[in-house]
Chains A and B, each alone.
Chain A
Amino acid sequence: MSAPILWIAIPFIMGVFILFFLRERFSALIGGVTAGILALAALVFPIDTALLLGLISLKIAPSIQFFGRSFELNTADGPLLAIVYGLSALWFLGTEASGTSNRFASLGLMIIALLTASIAVEPFLYAALLLEMAAMLAIPLLVPPYQKPGRGAVRFLIYQTLAMPFILFSGWMLAGVEASPGDLSTTTQAGTMLGLGFAFLLAVFPLYNWIPMLMEESSPYVTGFLLWALPTFTVIFALGFLDRYAWLRTSSQLSNAIQFAGVLMVASGGIFASLQRHIGRILGYAAIAETGLLILVMGLRSSEIVTITFLTLIPRGLELTIWALALSIIKRKAYSLRFNELQGLARSYPVAVAALILAHLSMTGFPLLAGFPPRLAIWQALAGQSLVTSFWVFFGMLGLLVAAIRTLAVFVMANEDKKWSVNESWVQVTMLGLGVIGLFILGIFPQALHPLLANLPSLFEHLVP
């Protein structure tokens, strides 16, 4: 057994199996359990290390050849796989509670398998193709059968597709840069190409307008899943670039450009979120601000880039899951998710509203919640470098806080005669309750993540001194 078969081929095949052969009511459960087992396997079985189970010696080989390309997952990838599949399990198990189409678990599993392949493939430039394939698989999720795709879905596909040629071209040019590092014009061209590729992939300002559009026209749960999965793997892909090319790591211009792009996303995401009247769009802008934070971290001149990135990525997954799930539950009651249709809903859906607000507050970096420790780490690192940049990040987070308070104000705007009642199902209450407990645990004891984070820096050995 090899690691790529276990964590790429099996989930992909399971996805296909669930899609074509399984009855709808079991698909979410099987998808969630599969992802959970894969996460557990990543935690328990070290890759490329012999494990003695009684009389049987078990060793998971790290690589496999496929059509002349190599897929490789090493020992250091174990915690990463555990995080990715663990969070995926949460998403898939929440499918029924969210009332999302049952294709979600199967296609979602395939998307995660492709994205995992993108961090395992060698030569690593092929990751761009795998990311594009994952984006294309997302389209059936975003567009209900027999319906015309919305403008947001089309734009999402256009931008993700535009990213691919830019990345592939930059890879071709980077080979030239490595051969003649003194050639400044090639270096600048390669850097620009690469920057544009990642700008499309990560939806950097002003390329992010498909996100709020998609939040308005598609299922919030599915869009939330994509907003979690795609940037997560793209960031890991980008860290791989920084790790491989010394000139990218050491270029102060590039570092400044990355920081500028990140700050622009955080500030604009926060400001636009505070001015919205649609809670789905607010989630979209919050996700944009959060991606901006990840980009900003990549531009930090710090030896802790990798640790801070993963410290941010894990709570992000949890926050988006809870937020998107709560939004889906609310959407079944109030169709459009506009403020005027949500007034007083806290009294009839208290658990969903509380979970939504807490997830939102967590994204603003409210203390006690999961988002606070990573933001604190970012501010500590950033404050030492630039107070102006820190201010704009702070301003963006303030915008998100304003949006959270406006949302709360709308939800509690109930008439005097409206009584409290819990209308969520027990599955929904359980899922949201566990998620909220997770938010508090990660906010008060972020050291709970330390066993997962401790070995992750070895994935990018040049980024860590």
Chain B
Amino acid sequence: MLILISCLLLFVTALTLIVLRVVQPNARYTWLVAVGGAMLALVSVFIWLAQTPFDFVLPAWQPVTLFASPILFRADGISWPFAFGITALTLSMLLTTVTRPVFVNSFAWVGTLALGGLGVLAVTANNPLTLLLVWAALDITELLTQLGSVDGSANNEKVVISFSMRASGIGVLLWATIVSIAEGSAFDFQSMSAASGLYLVVAAGLRLGVLPLHLPYSSESILRRGFGTVLRLISAASSLILLGRIPAGGLNSLATPFLLMLATMAAIYGGWMWLRAPDELIGRPYWIISLASLSVIASLSGNPLGAVAWGCALLLVGGGLFLASVQHVWLNRIMLLGAWSLSSLPFSLTASAWLGSLGFFIPFVIIAQALVIAGFIRHALRPAGRDTLDAQPGWTRTVYPSGIILLITLQFLLGWIGWDGAYQVGAWLQAVIASLLTFGLVWATPRFRILNPIRAHWVTASTTSRLNDMVEGLGSLYRVLERISQAITVTLEGEGGIMWTLLFLVLFVSLLAQGTP
């Protein structure tokens, strides 16, 4: 029931904002309502700790003979840190919004609260059926919110591409369950077969929300930082939870080393691009790619808790960095504590990240991790030139930093009490090597041209052209298929269509008749 209460707090607040927007469009207390709702939700999720693990089950679908699995949500060591992180991110977005130029009751706040509620539901979903339903709700909400807030056909196209990628993730999860049922397993995560475990990884990958690479908002759009961050990170978290749910033996297959190799390559690529990104928002997709890849690597190495740790780091460390929009020296320095959370040093948030068996891949994983941390440090120590808090009213100078500090505090808190197995020494030697390499990269970045940030328009041009090539290739294939379909249609629907149809029918009957004795 506590799960429902937390989600309802977010949904009811979102609904209240909609009502206020209609009834009292100029009301000045709407921000307080939004922050109040988000804060209560955060407190309510914290209270879960007193009762975990516990379930929330909706009435079973009828007839029971067809639908054996109920809609089931579970608060446990895996879902709680994600739920806590998501509600904290929601609150943090609302707290940091006070510095935005347009500070009114907007659909972005409503969308943030609704996404927060759905995100909590997604991370607590304890079987494929529940996750499918929540993912679908998340996708439809995102689709409607984004279509309502973007202009221009190119941006709308990006929204549709993003929706189609997520929908294909839903399809892969569905296929994973079909495969699992075909192999005689039940319709839940605990008894999923090894063959379907790999599909789960693919489903999570497709739904990370990194394609299209950039959100359909212009670089000047205020939605890009606040709502965009929530959108990207909650989507990623709701996908990564799947990795934490895969049972330890669920990924033992011949394809595992191959997938491990792919994930390591993706982590290194993401880390490299993140390090060289012109600013943190342009680099955000690469942050997600690299952290999600590290999460996948942890999962493939047989350490689901490591996947949870990287997922929480993606949410909290990334959230703090991406939501910070003003120049504040002390805040920038405090944000550097995020590097500790990413380091997997003893008692840090990611201390339990590398407890699985990585074997041959250890050096490459260390390189990827170092690239990510070095990139984070570079972006946290952002260059001057942004707005400062000096021009803001007094209360915003208090409220804004509290939004960022909240996320930093939670990184430490989750590192200690986040889940069974948190607060441990972990693979310290690996962490020390990664940290040393990070220091090396931070030292070398201003000294070697290859490590310098690439220009923003270069990033955009190269990624766009590569995507264009891919789209072009798919388009050509599609046109060929369309021509074939057109030829069949013209034949069957033309003047001689009936004769062709009857001919086909006779062929089919004779083919089928061969099967009879």
Contact = CB atoms under 8 A, between A and B. Distances in A.
Contact of A405 (B61, B167, B181, B485): B167
A253 B516 contact: yes
Interface in A256-293: 256-257, 260, 271-272, 275-276
A297 B346 CA distance: 57
B178 A379 contact: yes
Interface stretch (A112-120, A170-178, A231-239, A412-420): A412-420
B153 to A, nearest CB: 4
A184 interface: yes
Interface in A106-141: none
Contacts of B102: none
B160 A405 contact: yes
A407 B66 CA distance: 33
A209 B153 contact: no
Contacts, number: 145
B280 to A, nearest CB: 27
B63 interface: yes
A366 B493 CA distance: 31
Interface of B is mostly: helix
Interface in B135-189: 135-137, 140, 147-148, 151-153, 156-157, 159-160, 163-164, 167, 170-171, 174-175, 177-179, 181-182, 187
Contacts of A271: 485
Given A253-B516, A275-B481, A380 B187 contact: yes
Interface stretch (B89-97, B256-264, B299-307, B504-512): B504-512
A304 B67 CA distance: 12
Contact of B505 (A206, A445, A446): A206
B153 A415 contact: yes
Given A206-B504, A383-B181, A450-B63, A413 B481 contact: no
B497 interface: yes
Given A206-B492, A206-B504, A409-B160, A373 B178 contact: no
Contacts of B498: 155, 158
A450 B178 CA distance: 24
B132 interface: yes
A412 B179 CA distance: 35
Interface residues of A, number: 66
A307 B63 contact: yes
A441 interface: no
B297 to A, nearest CB: 29
A367 B171 CA distance: 10
A366 B170 contact: yes
Interface string A187-205: 0100010011001000001
A408 B59 CA distance: 34
B512 A366 contact: no
Contacts of A346: 147
Contact of B67 (A213, A366, A368, A377): A377
A256 B153 contact: no
Nearest to A188: B516
A446 B133 CA distance: 13
Nearest to A344: B153
Nearest to B129: A376
Contact of B178 (A188, A260, A390): A390
A308 B179 contact: no
Interface string B462-490: 00000000000000001001100110010
Contact of B515 (A256, A394, A408, A416): A256
A380 B167 CA distance: 20
B167 A151 contact: no
A271 B179 CA distance: 22
B513 interface: yes
A387 B170 CA distance: 19
Interface of B: 59-63, 65-67, 129, 132-133, 135-137, 140, 147-148, 151-153, 156-157, 159-160, 163-164, 167, 170-171, 174-175, 177-179, 181-182, 187, 478, 481-482, 485-486, 489, 492-493, 497-498, 500-501, 504-505, 508-509, 512-513, 515-517
Interface of A: 151, 155, 158, 184, 188, 192, 195-196, 199, 205-207, 209, 212-213, 253, 256-257, 260, 271-272, 275-276, 304, 307-308, 311, 343-344, 346, 365-369, 372-373, 376-377, 379-381, 383-384, 387, 390, 394, 398, 401, 405, 408-409, 412-416, 420, 444-447, 449-450, 453-454
Which A-B residue pairs are the 6 nearest by beta carbons? A447-B62, A450-B62, A367-B136, A275-B485, A368-B136, A383-B181
17 contacts: A188-B513, A196-B505, A311-B66, A365-B174, A366-B136, A368-B137, A373-B61, A379-B177, A384-B181, A390-B178, A394-B171, A401-B167, A413-B156, A415-B153, A446-B62, A446-B67, A447-B60
